[in-house]
Amino acid sequence: MGKRALIVHPDFLHTLPQQTPFRCPARLGSLPLHIVHLVACKFDNARDLCTFEQVCTFSREAVQSDDSLWQNLCCSKFRMPRHADLSGKEGLTWKALYR
């Protein structure tokens, strides 16, 4: 069975039970890419996603490597169908479409 991780904002460390072992990652890049991607999936507007993209190289790579993050924003903001496909449009990305 894999290890489980608990990520807690420093302002809420006092809410953890005393026996809970807590090891803060040295930096965002030390987290697995899928965890960073899960964080990015929670943003519901472009401003937050762009801000997260600027945090560090690792977060930028996580956001830029998955155009579906921008697809979700396009579909929710512009009421596009979730199954819309841009594969036939050369060079067009969901991020470019959102702009």
Other beta carbons within 10 angstroms of residue 58's beta carbon come to 15
Domain residue ranges of the chain, discontinuous segments joined by +? 32-98
Q: Please tell me what DSSP assigns to residue 66.
A: -
CB under 8 Å to 3, separation ≥6 — which residues? none
Global pTM value: 0.61
Mean pLDDT of the chain: 77
Tens-place pLDDT, residues 4-47: 666 777 777 667 666 555 555 567 777 888 888 888 888 888 89
Alpha-carbon distance of 77 to 72, in angstroms, equals: 9
